[in-house]
Structure 1
Amino acid sequence: MYALTVLDHSALAVFRREHPWLEFPDAILEVCIYFDDNGGPTRLTALEESSDGKAMPADVNRFGIDTVLSLIRYAPQGTAEVEECPEERTVWALLESLPVADGIRPLDDVEAERATALQGAYETLHGIALDKLRALRDAARSPREMQRLSDAVASLPALLEQVDEAHKSSFIEVDLWRLVAVLRDELSMPADYEMMASGEDRLPSRETIEMAETNAMSGPVIQALFELSPVAFSISSIGQKSSRYVRVNQAYLDLVGKTWDEIRGSEMVASGVVSGSEVRAERLMLLDRDGGYAGMRGEIRHSSGEVVPVMISARRISVAGQLYDFEVLQRASDD
């Protein structure tokens, strides 16, 4: 879903009165400003009145930089809305239905099935990206811009496994990178096992915990990240009452004053480290609704009893169809 602010006809009338030097066209009926997950503006669209009185898309490129910046600054005066993204629903539905290794089927078969499903989802996004880039190319005003977009179309990889940072800008331009990145990251991760067979309160076996930990950490990049980073990381199963530690790094253990054996597989609140507060419930709601959040304040409890203020950023990730919460914690000031 996309967060956006809508400046309707009434809001734009006030905007024109407060910014007369911009000579903002009277024909513009509505302006929409879209924002990314960090609250930064990503794109701007507008509707204008045609000669027959109907609303039609306007060319925002003719507004000029001063007008665009003024509209962005004026965005708080508009109406905040959320726009559904069909592609996003499709991707998240796929991630939730990916096959999970069960210890019976050969792991290679599970991985092959996962790869096929992820490639299928990518092909859908790839087709949408090509259509949007071609539309931009056809509307380009200069040969140089037309050539740039033609190169972007030609360089877009057909296979998910070929996607890398060099293609990021092309997908960003058509607002699809965040979805492509999710698929790419999922493809790089191995399949693992369900943490819990049934019921939120059922305690997973030590063998199940070890299997989830092994699979979650089997990627060399993830392993190196956990071992070398001075920032506290944790991976846990999802749920307000059933979230259990799957893996943490040494920086996390240092922050809470615990050893891994003390919290391994423990329910996070029951471990005494995590506070089961309304603030945590809000963070979990954001993970359920948006798939993540950034820079939210929280508290954890050190083994000494000290309450440690922290800033937490998190993302819900899918490993072989099993969802986990990946958290990054940094000690916050007491201000």
Structure 2
Amino acid sequence: MSVELNSPHIPVAIIGAGPVGVTAALLLAGRGVRSIVLERHQDVYPLPRALVVDDEGRRILQAAGVGEAFAGMVRPGNGLRLLDARHRVMAEFRRGEQGPHGYPQTSMFEQPELERLLRSELARRPECELRGGVEVTGIGPDTGGPVRVTYRDDGGEHHLFADAVLGCDGANGLTREAIGAVWEDLRFEERWTVIDVRTTADVRCWEGVDQVCDPARPATFMRISEDRYRWEFRLRDGQESVRELVAPWLPPSHEGDFEVVRERAYTFRARIADRWRNGRVFLLGDAAHLTPPFIGQGLCSGLRDAYNLTWKLARTLQQGCDERLL
């Protein structure tokens, strides 16, 4: 589907082509609702971010049409262990191979692979269009009719008019501000470093997620794929090398391959927007809520947002259901 520039009307405009935005577009397409996805970047962000999806998330991806293909790029995880400072197991929470949604309760994957899969499916659907390399600069004002979305690309400034706008533009996007929402701080804020490594070393792991409950240096560890691993450590004063941080998991004498794919510091926060909707403009995913990236619920909650909203929106747009459904 191709939407003409300055088209007077499109049923749904989605801002942001991350997993939540593209999944929302695919779910709408499955119900016959046309949409356009506006994305600032031309391509998928190449480095891994989200790594874990639960069985409900897998079921949502199935509904979006990528369930079978996604199954070929994931592996089940055993669950979660809580370790003390000396890496002794204090508690273990096993996750079953099949949860109530028919999929493993924990699946490990790499986000760039999922995003490429979602975009490939999007390109096959005539109800959807992804327009990359554009910057959304304005939403609204709400006049009770279609919502005006203003965006800029190499050809200048353009407008779209949509019956609904989905803000899937993340924690720093403009949709939240456009609807007058503000963050409510849930009083969790910590600086962590995230390290993704590729190595064939015999890394000590149990095929699940380890949470190190060390007050001096809490950490998270998991195996992503055959030779990919992730460590997360809360930052403290003084710098330590990557090899020093991950040494407890590596063979003492390992001097072989060890590629740091990514090392980056993040501020983990817990926040929620005080409103998720104004008229026909909605917030989904990180635009609406931020959760520290433990047990994979950042991405999963965004997928649930997409599933929860899209069926209601389709009924409202196509069947004239009462606005209270939204």
TM-score normalized by the length of structure 1: 0.21
* Larger helix proportion of the pair: 1
* Larger strand proportion of the pair: 2
